[in-house]
Amino acid sequence: MTYDYVIGMDVGKYFHHACVLDTHGNQILSKRVNQHEQPLRKLFSQYAGKGTNTSAAVYQPNNIGRLTVAVAQDIGINVLYLPGLAMRQLSRIHAGNSKTDVCHAYIIGYAGRNLPKSLRSVDRIEEAFIQPKALNRKWILRLLAKYGGPTKIKRLGKTRFNTFARKHRARNPEPITDTMFITITEQSVQIAGAEYAELGVAMSVKEALLKLESRKEIEAQVIELSQEIPQTQLLLSMPGIGPRTATHLLMTVGDMSDFPTAGLLASYAGLSPRTNQSGTSIMSNSLNRAGNKKLKNTLWQSSFASTRFHERSR
């Protein structure tokens, strides 16, 4: 089938890159598009008028590409999926070795126009509406555990939503509430099976919350056991080190017997300078990117705490 326009979409978490090719293979558009329904609808509608045969090709139709697929299908655009292996093979035959959104969007569009047999049809999509960075807030997890997703949250309403958030000790939930309800309201496409997908989300989040509670219990037991180690009291006497930090240090380096000097401990943690030397022509000291990352992070946090609350350490 010959298309008047083929839209290649390299999808991302927060924005996508679109590349539009006409029937002759000429690139007539290459631009970034936000991960929201209205910008996507505006883009697709521009090339899907009456009497126009348009196709959209995507690299990831599920996960981060769900909304893109849903909006395109709602407008009436045929959506095709480029498998990962085909994507990698096409990347090799194109000039250059750059790995950019612009390049990938063009390759996806090129495959949709010139190699349609390498693509697959998309007939199953799902829905997502919460940014991943918000999932580290416990009240968000409790919200998803109870309501699952946008279908039930929309029925809940903003007032009851904020009440639920503050009941679970959320600090200033209004910005998240406003953003979430704007997203739910603006998204007009209805995705088949959304309620069943939300049921699966609720079940998964409940399991995650149980694991978090188990981690707290284990941490409390470990801290209690560490009180029996003689080095614990020595560490606790130092500014910036509390029971949790002392436990982390002991779990990482033991009783310190492997480190006769402070320099060896600093080197193991990756806190000592890294020397580059070759004869007399090259000589420099730089930050050490190696070392035990957990130990380095623990020491940094304790030193930061000591400078805040201990005048002599500052």
Q: Is residue 81 part of a domain?
A: yes
Q: How many Å apart are CA 103 and CA 97, to the nearest integer? A: 10
137/97 same-domain check: no
Q: Is residue 176 part of a domain?
A: yes
Rg of the chain taking only CA atoms, in angstroms: 27
110/161 same-domain check: no
Q: How many Å apart are CA 254 and CA 248, to the nearest integer? A: 10
Q: Is residue 222 part of a domain?
A: no
Q: Is residue 295 part of a domain?
A: yes
Token pair of 211 as six digits:
């694991």
Q: How many Å apart are CA 255 and CA 260, to the nearest integer? A: 11
CATH label of the domain that carries residue 62:
3.30.420.10
Answer with the one of 217, 241, 261 that is the final residue of a domain. Answer: 217
261/166 same-domain check: no
pLDDT of 20 over the 90 cut? yes
213/245 same-domain check: no
Q: How many Å apart are CA 108 and CA 60, to the nearest integer? A: 11
Answer with the one of 196, 217, 238 that is the final residue of a domain. Answer: 217
- The pLDDT value recorded for residue 127 is 43
pLDDT of 126 over the 50 cut? no
* Residue 52 CB partners (closer than 8 Å, separation 6+): 4, 5
94/17 same-domain check: yes
Q: Is residue 10 part of a domain?
A: yes
Between 51-55, 132-136, 206-210, the lowest mean confidence (pLDDT) is in: 132-136
Stretch 304-312: mean pLDDT: 88
- The pLDDT value recorded for residue 17 is 93
Between 23-37, 75-89, 187-201, the lowest mean confidence (pLDDT) is in: 187-201
154/79 same-domain check: no
Strands 54-58 vs 78-81: parallel, antiparallel or unpaired? parallel
Stretch 182-187: mean pLDDT: 72
39/91 same-domain check: yes
173/256 same-domain check: no
Q: Decide if 25 contacts 53 (C-beta within 8 A).
A: no
- The pLDDT value recorded for residue 19 is 93
pTM (two decimals):
0.47
71/138 same-domain check: no
- pLDDT tier for residue 128 given thresholds of 50, 70 and 90: very low
Stretch 24-30: mean pLDDT: 91
Q: Is residue 127 part of a domain?
A: no
Tell me the CA distances in angstroms from 87 to 9, 102, 103, 106, one per residue in order.
12, 14, 11, 11
Name the residue among 313, 297, 292 with its Cα closest to residue 240: 313
Residues paired with residue 285 on neighbouring β-strands, in sequence order? 275
pLDDT of 148 over the 90 cut? no
Answer with the one of 99, 121, 143 that is the final residue of a domain. Answer: 121
Stretch 283-309: mean pLDDT: 86
Residue-averaged pLDDT of the chain:
83
Q: How many Å apart are CA 155 and CA 165, to the nearest integer? A: 16
Position with higher pLDDT, 46 vs 65: 46
Burial state string for 263-287 with b = 16 or more CB within 10 A and e = fewer than 16? eebbbbbbbbeeeeeeeeeeeeeee
Token pair of 309 as six digits:
């609350």
95/165 same-domain check: no
Token pair of 226 as six digits:
């560490």
- The pLDDT value recorded for residue 15 is 87
Q: How many domains does the chain have?
A: 3
- The pLDDT value recorded for residue 124 is 46
pLDDT of 21 over the 90 cut? yes
Q: Is residue 126 part of a domain?
A: no
- pLDDT tier for residue 62 given thresholds of 50, 70 and 90: low
Q: Is residue 110 part of a domain?
A: yes
Can you point out the beta strands (E) in the chain?
Answer: 5-10, 15-22, 27-34, 54-58, 78-81, 120-121, 274-278, 282-286
- pLDDT tier for residue 7 given thresholds of 50, 70 and 90: very high
- pLDDT tier for residue 98 given thresholds of 50, 70 and 90: low
Note down the domain range covering 148: 132-217
Q: How many Å apart are CA 277 and CA 285, to the nearest integer? A: 9
Q: How many Å apart are CA 92 and CA 42, to the nearest integer? A: 32
Amino acid identity of 106? Y
77/99 same-domain check: yes
10/33 same-domain check: yes
Q: How many Å apart are CA 252 and CA 226, to the nearest integer? A: 13
